[in-house]
Amino acid sequence: MISQFFILSQRGDNIVFRDYRGEVQKGSTEIFFRKVKFWKEEEQEEAQAPPVFHVDGVNYFHVKVAGLLFVATTRVNVSPSLVLELLQRIARVIKDYLGVLSEDSLRKNFVLVYELLDEVVDFGYVQTTSTEVLKSYIFNEPITVDAARIPPLGPASIFMQGSQRMPGTAVTKSVIANEPRGKKREEIFVDIIEKISVTFSSSGYILTSEIDGTIQMKSYLTGNPEIRVALNDELNIGRGGQSIYDYRSSTGSGAVILDDCNFHESVRLDSFDVDRTLSLVPPDGEFPVMNYRMTQEFKPPFRVNALIEEARNLKAEVTIKIRAEFPSNITANSIVVQMPLPKYTSRATFEIEPGAAGQTADFKEANKKIEWNLKKIVGGSEHTLRAKLTFSQESHGNIMKESGPVNMTFIIPMYNASGLQVKYLQIAKKSSTYNPYRWVRYVTQANSYVARL
Amino acid sequence: MAPPAHSSRSPSPSQPSGKGEVSDLKSQLRQLAGSRAPGVDDSKRDLFKKVISYMTIGIDVSSLFGEMVMCSATSDVVLKKMCYLYVGNYAKVNPDLALLTINFLQRDCKDEDPMIRGLALRSLCSLRVPILVEYLVGPLASGLKDSNSYVRMVAVIGVLKLYHISSVTCMDADFPAILKHLMLNDRDTQVVANCLSTLQEIWTAEASNSGEASRERDALLSKPLIYYLLNRIKEFSEWAQCLILELVAKYVPSDTNEIFDIMNLLEDRLQHANGAVVLATIKVFLQLTLSMTDVHQQVYERIKAPLLTLVSSGSPEQSYAVLGHLHLLVMRAPMLFSSDYKHFYCQYNEPFYVKKLKLEMLTAVANESNTYEIVTELCEYAANVDIPIARESIRAVGKIALQQYDVNAIVDRLLQFLEMEKDYVTAETLVLVKDLLRKYPQWSHDCIAVVGNISSKNVQEPKAKAALIWMLGEYSQDMQDAPYILESLAENWDDEHSPEVRLHLLTALMKCFFKRSPETRKALGIALAAGVADFHQDVHDRALFYYRLLRYNISIAERVVNPPKQAVSVFADPQSSEIKDRIFDEFNSLSVLYQKPSYMFTDKEHRGPFEFSDELGNLSTEANVSAQKVEADDKDLLLSISEKGDSGFPANGSAYNAPSYDSSKSLSASSTSSDLVILETGVLHQASPSLAIDDLLGLGLSTTPAPAPAPPLSLNPKAVLDPGTFQQKWRQLPISLSLELPVSPQGVAALTTPQALIMHMQGNSIHCIATGGQSPNFKFFFFAQKSEELSKFLVECIINTSSSKAQLKIKADDQNSTQAFSVLFESALSKFGML
């Protein structure tokens, strides 16, 4: 049960505010924002406020979506995961209706947003968060904002960048808005999004690795036909009695072994045990069909080697080498490599490989970091950055302990590390002329990709 | 219904200044009000939108109230909705104008479109104007009978709204009874769910002043209702499922078959993508199996994978909420998670609050087989550029060392930290090395060699400096420079800002003096002189005390300051097991994330449906006493304690939770062992006050070698305490002592007139504040106050005449005098002939 709901901009402006129960005093938005902005913890200067905290008997919950703060307050000792989940869901519902979630779109459509909020929660109790069910209660039409100008939102938005194969506007389409020509395009999107975490030891050995994946669906099909999603035949869930880090020796067999997974409530698993298919009647709007987690050994897309060597006279040299270990028809983009340097580093000069386009390297004076940006990396290629460092004082001996670890972020479209695949997407509608667009897209992102020195 | 009344700080550039526009709008609205021309609705829409947008950015448009109401005579739903939004926002501040709207809202409540009926009813109930409640009853009653489920859904919540405006009107109209009927018969699951929420809220609020209401509330936990809801659970929305699961978690099944049936039924809820559903299910599983140790353990195994999946999927906020619960479970049963330690490794981009939880989990799960890897990982973080995490990591390494696994290797690592020459690393490490030495004095040789090399100038943090000084004092015979380092510190007495450090310096110099007096004499003189002149009271007192002690007799002084020490075997856990159990009982609530039970951060009426019974209402019952009887006893007791009877959940405590409460004590090995820890340290304190722990706590005064006779505790014969304060204190204080005493046959006989005992105890300055129970269970609450202080003692005394046992629970403001008090209490009881 919540008492108030509000959306604040990054600057703390009130964009939407709804008081459901009148139990929390006025000014809660200011109290909240000040607390979040100037959060203090231990000796940290820029500490981050946790998603839940309390001030004077009022509990504040918040999630950040698209640079906006979605906040709920209550005086009751409620389930935090329920409220945080609800906030996330409200953001998703609003996005389903507006097409785009941004300060601008919210301000333009606030009447519609209030309409939604009144149906989603009544007197603090959740009524429904189903985009589908809400359709019958909503009468305002969304005023669309120019999607190209706004920052992308959510994991699926990465498809908007770079890859030309995708219709860029599709994911920013409102579930109730009509297409310009008055005809709705029949299409369905299935995105397999994987976040990977890998930690390499100083000798390049993989210490930990994990893939957190989700199969996300967004359907614009009329008449809600049933859909069957077929996954790999050789797909196992759970590792029986084994410890999950107890890697099996035969990973070359092609079997995908998930540690665990969960499903959206619309998913029926009747034939999952037999033929690895999920059947569902997709509700409107965007939703995760399945989340999964895998610690089975996999081939990391990048190998990272970093070296720091001390030279004489307060100087040192850094070499960072990355090798793309995926096929050459695949290209990673938006790669950022960072490496913290010793605190007494005063200067760094860089040597980028000759002929490299779209690469920049920087020394971030404030937090003593190297930042190396690469626009794209083609599969199979290797890139090296060399940096010469100047120190303001003598190092205390072990320079390796004072720098690193190297961390890396990247996006690789049309690639997934787990090997999980959507074999086919069957739409059960018996008509020979009915052939909607089906988009099955893969993407891999770095979550925590770290190489130690 | 309120967009913000105050203006937003940076309004959009097109923001109008206000007045002129509002009067413009007024005249435009007037023109449209009566018009029936085609297309008029569109122009109205535009105008309404303008009004609402002004309202949102904080311009007062309440002057348009009349015009808006006039314009609302329309069949256009969009227009109506905007009008409702407007009315809801201004009705509360303009009750007179609100009366204007009643008419059209009531009419709309009878509209043929169910959508409009529902919306109008919702708006009507949201006006929050007390004088208008009489107009709500009729529409609500017909709304509850409406053929459309949307209208019924709205009407049910409407009843709750009415209850909050005027509970009397709501009860008089007998709405709760109608809701009860709906809950069991409505086809629509959201209507059922709303009935459940509404009834829960109403009965809980009413329960404190009506026995019938509390029976009704308990009836929500009856078997037929629970089964009715459970059998249909998949038809409910995910949010309503959470509501039902929360209810089921409080249900007490009659036998184990029932428990397994429920668990099998809910098994697949653990695979739900909504973390709230999964956590609510887990709570049910944990609560149901509390008394079945091995099944309970299987539950832990079963929920591990879903929890880990939730932690790694979803937004960072959601995963934090789940991680908090995982943390709780790991802390309760670390051994069950010892092979999962790699999941608790930190990722570089995680926020501090996540990393902190993970470090604590890593520390907890460390055992013989994984310590090496965990410590290696922690050492990586210690070298991290993220300073707070580096500190936490070092502390974690230290804690693992104190847990006794593979200390040898860890000590080496800690000593390597000192070689890193980072100030904060050195500081944290010094504190740990000190703790290690207190527990493992056998390592002193290795540690001292390294610590001796640290220049005190590089140590600035008070805690670290105090630790270093303690080591210099304690091991001054092994550290060649000790007297000289201490001397230079004493010479710079005025530069030392922390009183903690100055206190330690005094004590260290004393210790050093007895070992190496010629070298220390001068420094001690300086320090004592400076100490006596110190502004800080404690520093002044300690310096004076040492000075007088030295003058009185040097050999006694040595026995006081430098007694032979025993190693500390276990450090006290900062959180009592009672608190931990409470947090566990409040699983899937904020208590878990805040790591404190709800009474510490929320007021009574807002504890929510999660709170389990209060201590006071929770008689530990004998099996042969029927739950009902105890419940009644308890209520008597509570009534006699508090005039208002404001205790929110007095009755359901014993009725529902008695079994789970008992078993939670016996079940979890971890909690019982920490109970022992506390008792043990408590006992150690008493037995040998010369422990090093006292010294480090700054209690130098108490370190007498021969146990000095404790100052006799005297009680204030005229102590007063009102029942409210008693209850509050009882809730807040931990149990400092609990014991069971045999009761003599005379004692049992004497209890036929409990008044005699109360009189007798009063004669001993121990006052009775409440009594309760019937043969064979008698319950007394006593309190007493120290004669010259405000410090109080609270006692719960349960005497069972059939088993001839008395159970005492003592809570005290001043924990140190509990023992003395319990002696007094026992002697008072035995004088009465009880024992």
Closest residue on chain B to A14 (Cα): B8
State the smallest CA–CA distance between residue B745 and chain A in angstroms: 47
Q: What's the mean pLDDT in A177-199? A: 78
Residues 148-177 of A with CB under 8 A from B: none
Q: B590, A78: Cβ pair inside 8 Å?
A: yes
DSSP H or E stretch at residue B784: strand B777-785
**Minimal CA–CA distance to B462: which of B435, B491, B427?**
B427
Helices B223-231, B256-266: axis angle to 10 degrees equals 30
Q: A208, B611: Cβ pair inside 8 Å?
A: no
Task: Quickly count: other Cβ atoms within 10 Å of residue A254's Cβ.
Answer: 10
Query: Which residue, among B14, B590, B596, would best test binding to A if mutated, counting the most A CBs under 10 Å from its CB?
Result: B590
Instruction: Give the span between the Cα atoms of B592 and B596, in whole angstroms.
Output: 7
Contact A426, A282 (CB under 8 A): no
Sheet holding A267-268, edge to edge: A267-268, A277-280, A226-231, A422-428
Residues 193-232 of A with CB under 8 A from B: 197, 199, 208, 210, 212, 214
The answer, as to whether pTM is greater than 0.80, is no
Instruction: Give the span between the Cα atoms of B490 and B509, in whole angstroms.
Output: 9
State the average pLDDT for chain A: 84
3-state secondary structure B97-132: HHHHHHHHHHHHCCCCCHHHHHHHHHHHHCCCCHHH
| HSE-CB for B110 with a 13 A CA cutoff | 7
State the smallest CA–CA distance between residue A106 and chain B in angstroms: 12
Query: Which residue, among A1, A77, A95, would best test binding to B if mutated, counting the most B CBs under 10 Å from its CB?
Result: A77
pLDDT of the residue at A183: 60
Determine if the peptide bond prior to B441 is cis (ω within 30°).
Answer: no
Closest residue on chain B to A446 (Cα): B349
Confidence of residue A181 (pLDDT cuts 50, 70, 90): low
Instruction: Give the span between the Cα atoms of A71 and A87, in whole angstroms.
Output: 7
pLDDT of the residue at B126: 87
DSSP state of A442: E
pLDDT of the residue at B72: 75
Instruction: Give the span between the Cα atoms of B587 and B594, in whole angstroms.
Output: 12
Instruction: Give the span between the Cα atoms of A425 and A117, in whole angstroms.
Output: 34
**Minimal CA–CA distance to A410: which of A124, A95, A197?**
A197
pLDDT of the residue at B17: 53
Q: Which amino acid is at B535?
A: F
State the smallest CA–CA distance between residue B394 and chain A in angstroms: 15
What tokens were used for B267?
Answer: 């098994």
Q: B272, A265: Cβ pair inside 8 Å?
A: yes
Determine if the peptide bond prior to B776 is cis (ω within 30°).
Answer: yes
Q: Which amino acid is at B411?
A: V
Residues 69-108 of A with CB under 8 A from B: 75-82, 84-88, 107
Helices B577-585, B650-667: axis angle to 10 degrees equals 120
| HSE-CB for B394 with a 13 A CA cutoff | 29
Query: Which residue, among A10, A32, A81, would best test binding to B if mutated, counting the most B CBs under 10 Å from its CB?
Result: A81
Chain A residues inside the 8 Å CB shell of B56: 110
Closest residue on chain A to B5 (Cα): A26
User: Strand A187-200 relative to strand A437-451: parallel, antiparallel, unpaired?
Assistant: parallel
Contact A9, A37 (CB under 8 A): no
- Three-class secondary structure of residue B453 per DSSP: coil
Query: Does the pLDDT at position A424 exceed 60?
Result: yes
pLDDT of the residue at A381: 92
Closest residue on chain B to A91 (Cα): B315
Q: B52, A111: Cβ pair inside 8 Å?
A: yes
Q: Which amino acid is at B485?
A: I
Confidence of residue A146 (pLDDT cuts 50, 70, 90): low
Give the CA distances from residue B402 to residues B367, B399, B433, B438, in Å, rounded to whole numbers and listed in that order. 12, 5, 10, 10
Closest residue on chain A to B419 (Cα): A396
Give the CA distances from residue A221 to residues A225, B227, B807, in Å, rounded to whole numbers and listed in that order. 7, 38, 69
Average pLDDT, 10 consecutive residues per value, chain B (835 residues): 42 52 84 75 84 79 83 80 84 78 87 91 87 89 94 95 92 93 94 95 87 88 93 94 95 91 92 93 94 90 92 88 95 90 88 90 89 88 80 87 71 78 84 85 78 77 90 86 88 88 92 88 90 91 92 88 78 78 92 91 65 38 35 36 35 31 35 35 36 37 42 75 77 80 78 76 82 74 81 84 81 82 83 75
Q: B81, A43: Cβ pair inside 8 Å?
A: no
pLDDT of the residue at A320: 93
Higher pLDDT, A31 or B611: A31
List beta partners, residue A121: A126
Q: Cβ of A13 under 8 Å from any chain B Cβ?
A: yes
Chain B residues inside the 8 Å CB shell of A75: 602-603, 606
Query: Which residue, among A69, A71, A82, A140, would best test binding to B if mutated, counting the most B CBs under 10 Å from its CB?
Result: A82
Q: Cβ of A393 under 8 Å from any chain B Cβ?
A: no
Q: A402, B239: Cβ pair inside 8 Å?
A: no
Q: A137, B383: Cβ pair inside 8 Å?
A: no
Task: Quickly count: other Cβ atoms within 10 Å of residue B130's Cβ.
Answer: 10
pLDDT of the residue at A252: 46
State the smallest CA–CA distance between residue B92 and chain A in angstroms: 11
Instruction: Give the span between the Cα atoms of B587 and B575, in whole angstroms.
Output: 17
Q: A51, B128: Cβ pair inside 8 Å?
A: no
Q: B594, A78: Cβ pair inside 8 Å?
A: no
Report phi then psi at A405, rounded to 5.
-75, 160
- Three-class secondary structure of residue A340 per DSSP: strand
Chain CA centroid to CA B520, Å = 50
Angle, CA of A92, A97 and A98, to the nearest 5°: 95
Q: In B401-440, which positions are buried (b, 16+ CB within 10 angstroms) versus exposed (e)?
A: bbbebbbeebbebbbbbbebebebbbbbbbbbbbbbbbbb
Confidence of residue A172 (pLDDT cuts 50, 70, 90): low
State the smallest CA–CA distance between residue A346 and chain B in angstroms: 16
Cα-trace Rg, chain B: 34
Instruction: Give the span between the Cα atoms of B710 and B96, in whole angstroms.
Output: 72
State the smallest CA–CA distance between residue B419 and chain A in angstroms: 9
Q: B309, A259: Cβ pair inside 8 Å?
A: yes
Which residues are CB-neighbours of B185 under 8 A, at least 6 positions away? Answer: none
DSSP state of B272: B
pLDDT of the residue at B344: 93
Contact A281, A306 (CB under 8 A): no
Contact B753, B832 (CB under 8 A): no
**Minimal CA–CA distance to A91: which of A120, A52, A53?**
A120
Q: A80, B312: Cβ pair inside 8 Å?
A: no
Higher pLDDT, A252 or A173: A173
Contact B661, B618 (CB under 8 A): yes
User: Strand A256-258 relative to strand A235-237: parallel, antiparallel, unpaired?
Assistant: parallel
Q: Which of A197, A210, A401 sits opposite B420 (nearest CB)?
A: A401
Contact A51, A63 (CB under 8 A): yes
Q: B352, A210: Cβ pair inside 8 Å?
A: no
**Minimal CA–CA distance to A276: which of A90, A399, A423?**
A423
Query: Does the pLDDT at position A166 exceed 80?
Result: no
Contact B436, B447 (CB under 8 A): yes
Q: A43, B387: Cβ pair inside 8 Å?
A: yes
Burial of B752 (0-12, 13-18, 19+ CB in 10 A): exposed
Residue reference for tokens 């007197």: A123
DSSP state of A388: E
Q: Which amino acid is at B636?
A: D
Q: What's the mean pLDDT in A358-381? A: 91
Q: Cβ of A12 under 8 Å from any chain B Cβ?
A: yes
Which residues are CB-neighbours of A207 under 8 A, at least 6 positions away? Answer: A199, A200, A201, A452
Q: B350, A448: Cβ pair inside 8 Å?
A: yes
Cα-trace Rg, chain A: 25
Chain CA centroid to CA A340, Å = 24
Q: A77, B607: Cβ pair inside 8 Å?
A: yes
pLDDT of the residue at B568: 75
Instruction: Give the span between the Cα atoms of B168 and B159, in whole angstroms.
Output: 12
Q: In B320-358, which positions are buried (b, 16+ CB within 10 angstroms) versus exposed (e)?
A: bbbbbbbbbbbbbbbebbbbbbbbbbbbbebebbbbbbb
DSSP H or E stretch at residue B302: helix B293-312
pLDDT of the residue at B251: 92
| HSE-CB for A303 with a 13 A CA cutoff | 12
Determine if the peptide bond prior to B4 is cis (ω within 30°).
Answer: no
Helices B754-763, B818-831: axis angle to 10 degrees equals 130
DSSP state of B620: P
